[in-house]
A and B are shown apart, each in its own frame.
Chain A
Amino acid sequence: ETGVTQSPTHLIKTRGQQVTLRCSSQSGHNTVSWYQQALGQGPQFIFQYYREEENGRGNFPPRFSGLQFPNYSSELNVNALELDDSALYLCASSPTATLYGYTFGSGTRLTVV
C-alpha cells in the first residue's frame, strides 16, 4: 500500500506513562519526520530520521525519542507523559531530505489524562 500509515489512530494514556507511536513510510521514501500538532496550531517539528540515523531535532526534550528501521518504518516514543503532550502526532516521509515535500500520515491523536 502506498502512502504513509500511522497506528494507532487514537490513544488515551495516563500522566507518567510511556507511549509508542508507529509509522510506515511511503514506498521508496528513506526520510521520515515526526511532528506534534496541538489544537489550533501548525505542526511542530520533533525530529527527523534518514537511513536509520537521527539527523535533525526540534525543540523537544529527550523524553521524546525515535527509531527508524531498515524498512524505513519508524517509531516515536514519549516517556513520562505530561498533560501538555496531548496532541495530534503526525508522521511524514520524503524520498530525500525535502526538495519534493513530505507526504503526511493521518496522525495519532494522543490524549493524556
Chain B
Amino acid sequence: AQRVTQPEKLLSVFKGAPVELKCNYSYSGSPELFWYVQYSRQRLQLLLRHISRESIKGFTADLNKGETSFHLKKPFAQEEDSAMYYCALSGRSGAGSYQLTFGKGTKLSVIP
C-alpha cells in the first residue's frame, strides 16, 4: 500500500522567511513524487515533479529515499505563496496500474 503523510495542517511564516513543507511517504517500489498547489478559488495544479529536479516559483524538493521524504522548500517566502499544498505519490496499485495518492495537505500562510 502507498501512503503520503503531511504532518502539518497549517504552516504560518513571515514574508522573506524560509519555508519547508514536510512530506513523508510509504511505498515499496520506486516512487514518483509530486507537489501540487491550490491557490484560493483555483484548481489544483502541478507545482513540481521529483523526476525533473526543477525549481518552480523558487520552490525545490529533493527526494530522500533513506528518509522516505520529499519536503518542499523555498528560501524566501512571498505573500503570493499562500495556498494549499499537497504532496502526492504515483505508484503501481495491486492491479498493476498507476494511481496517485495524496496527502491531506498543508495550508501555507505567509504573513506580510
Residues of A within 8 A of B (CB): 33, 35, 40-45, 48, 50, 55-58, 90, 92, 97-107
Contacts and interface: CB of A to CB of B under 8 A. Distances in A.
A84 to B, nearest CB: 17
Q: Which of A56, A90, A106 has most B Cβ within 10 Å?
A: A56
Interface size class of chain B, counting residues whose CB lies under 8 Å from the partner chain: 20 to 34
B93 interface: yes
A42 B102 contact: yes
Interface string B80-112: 000000101010010111111111110000000
A101 B49 contact: yes
Lowest 7 CB-CB distances: which A-B pairs, in order? A56-B97, A42-B102, A55-B97, A101-B46, A98-B90, A104-B44, A97-B98
Interface of B: 4, 6, 32, 34, 36, 43-46, 49, 51, 86, 88, 90, 93, 95-105
Contacts of B46: 101-103
B100 A41 contact: no
Given A42-B103, A43-B44, A99-B32, A48 B98 contact: yes
Contacts of B36: 104
Given A35-B100, A43-B44, 6 more contacts: A42-B102, A42-B103, A42-B104, A98-B90, A98-B98, A107-B43
Nearest to A43: B102
A45 B101 contact: yes
B102 A44 contact: yes
Nearest to A106: B43
Contacts of A107: 43
B44 A90 contact: yes
6 contacts: A33-B100, A56-B93, A97-B98, A98-B32, A104-B44, A106-B43
A31 to B, nearest CB: 8
